[in-house]
Structure 1
Amino acid sequence: MSIAQPFPLADPYAGSSLQAPRIQLPKQDLAVRLICPECRDSQPNIEEEFSSGDLVCRGCGLVLGDRIVDTRSEWRTFANEEGDDPSRVGGPTNPIYEGLDTLSTSISFRDGNTGHSRELQRASARLSNEKSQRSLTVIFEQIQSMCDQYSLPRSVSDTAKMLYRRCEEEKLLRGKQPDAIVAACLFIACRQAAVPRTFREIVELTNVPKKQIGQCYKALERAFNLTPGATAANPDLMARYCNYLALPPALQAYCSDVAGRARARDVGSGRSPVSIASGIIYFTAMLFGYSVSLKEIGATAGVSEGTIKLVYRLLWADREALVNEKWFEEGKVRWENLPSVESKESKEGKSPKDK
């Protein structure tokens, strides 16, 4: 996503037989030339004198303009300290904060009891958008604080801020709570920056109900034509869960291999990415002989043990196609390590009627 063209609105005429109305844009006349009104020469000799700031015709000496800005390169040093610093401006501008002026003018109440101060304050309040700018600044600080709390990269915070500003400019979510809009923007920004976070994590971070976040997310997804989240297991999610479970890094690569094969065979289609990732971790850990329980995986991923068992059944049914043959040749895995669904349920004390 480019900051120069952030979140363009979706085409309302896409997928329909209607055609968008054509708008005739004004064309620029490129044949306009600057001619001296005194000598009226077809090929005038007009020169810019930056020393005096004048635009002078060399044919007759008529001054055509004054206060000309010198746009040439500057090689003087304007810094207070010694050194080679020809820049006369500050740091690079941030397009996210463009238009949010930090400087403001306040009108004094002392007017000698003439009443002009109150009238000037009312006029200033009508013409300025200081209140909306202040609210945007507060929201941006809230987004940055949440990103710092979860150690999210700067790309996530910048994307969330730009998305929230675009939402305010287009008036997309009128009547919605700002906290719910912030939560939806953070969820979308995490996906855009390839740093996925689950709905449960966003709910815990923002303390906003899941239903409100989902409503705002669906509205933003339709408005900006965002790519919906994939239903397959995300490698980043599995890597995070393996780290939380203190599993070795080698197992993360094995989980990614199993996830790629499951995605190719459409195993677990329609399930949430968190459920599929949890089931693949349990399936791969059992296959390689690592000791990890369903309770530990469920507590880490925030899913129930029954959901993990259901995904495990789907993986176990297609186990021969999901396991790499090189692992058997290298002696890393054995089918005996992978418990069958029947043996799992018998160990848990379930009767045949419950199968």
Structure 2
Amino acid sequence: MEDDGFLPDSCSYNVIIQGFLQNRDSSTAVQFIDEMVGKGFSADSSTFQMLGLVTAIKDRANEIYKKVEDQKPLKGRNQDAILAACLYIACRQENKARTVKEICSVVTGATEKEIGRAKEFIVKHLEVEMGQSMEMGTIHAADYLRRFCSNLGMTNQAVKAAHEAVQKSEELDI
């Protein structure tokens, strides 16, 4: 596309990324997300939608951000990391498990480490503010299993075997 004199924009990238995701080629999709971010485009609602994030999660992330945005300790911190951390927390609260790495892949200007630190800070701040433990839901391997297996293009038989292994490990508490 660029060889023909056409420079892609975020919309072009989103269409390309969506095509790769629909064809279960997540590794190439992630490469294009990285390229998109590397060229200065930020993830927009379409990119988040491709990650499977529903409106409830976006609303929850916005609510979390509003609770912490005016706090002095956040001043001077990486805002992209704070926003990504809010998104991560919202996903956990809505039982839509996403890894920090997945969220980091569509966020411009924040590393996994920065997002993790921002998440810890936000959780501690909100726990102090609310006076109680902040419920984020427990992550189980099964929460990721179907999506990861699908991204890997595994057969139904392999997915079933992986699911049985996860169930057995949870039964044995290992």
2:102 is matched with which residue?
A: 201
Match runs of 1:264-303 below 5 Å: 264-267=171-174
Note the alpha carbon deviations across 1:140-162, whole angstroms, 9 max, x for none: xx764552353421111111111
Query: Does the CA-based 8 Å contact 1:221-1:228 persist in structure 2?
Result: no
Identity %: 28
1:248 is matched with which residue?
A: 155
Match runs of 1:6-155 below 5 Å: 144=45, 146-155=47-56
- 1:262 aligned to which of 132, 149, 169: 169
Residue identity in the other structure for 1:204? S
1:163 is matched with which residue?
A: 64
1-side partners of 2:112 and 2:96: how far apart?
19
2:37 is matched with which residue?
A: none
More relative contact order, 1 or 2 (CA 8 Å, 6+ apart):
2
Task: State the SS of the aligned residue for 2:97.
Answer: coil
Give aligned pairs, total.
126
2-side partners of 1:163 and 1:155: how far apart?
12
Query: Does the CA-based 8 Å contact 1:143-1:182 persist in structure 2?
Result: no
2:121 is matched with which residue?
A: 219
1:63 is matched with which residue?
A: none
2:36 is matched with which residue?
A: none
Distance 1:151 1:230, change over 3 A: closer
- 1:186 aligned to which of 66, 73, 87: 87
Shift of 1:172: 5.4
Shift of 1:239: 0.4
Note the alpha carbon deviations across 1:290-345, whole angstroms, 9 max, x for none: xxxxxxxxxxxxxxxxxxxxxxxxxxxxxxxxxxxxxxxxxxxxxxxxxxxxxxxx
Shift of 1:171: 4.8
Residue identity in the other structure for 2:149? C
2-side partners of 1:143 and 1:189: how far apart?
17
Residue identity in the other structure for 1:226? M
2:5 is matched with which residue?
A: none
Shift of 1:180: 1.0
1-side partners of 2:80 and 2:115: how far apart?
9
2-side partners of 1:183 and 1:152: how far apart?
13
Query: Does the CA-based 8 Å contact 2:61-2:87 persist in structure 1?
Result: yes
Query: Does the CA-based 8 Å contact 1:190-1:196 persist in structure 2?
Result: yes
Using structure 2 for the length normalisation, give the TM-score: 0.60
- Any unmatched runs of 5+ in structure 1? 1-141, 268-355
Higher helix share: 2
- Any unmatched runs of 5+ in structure 2? 1-42, 127-132
Give the structure with higher Rg (CA): 1
Shift of 1:249: 3.5
2-side partners of 1:172 and 1:145: how far apart?
31
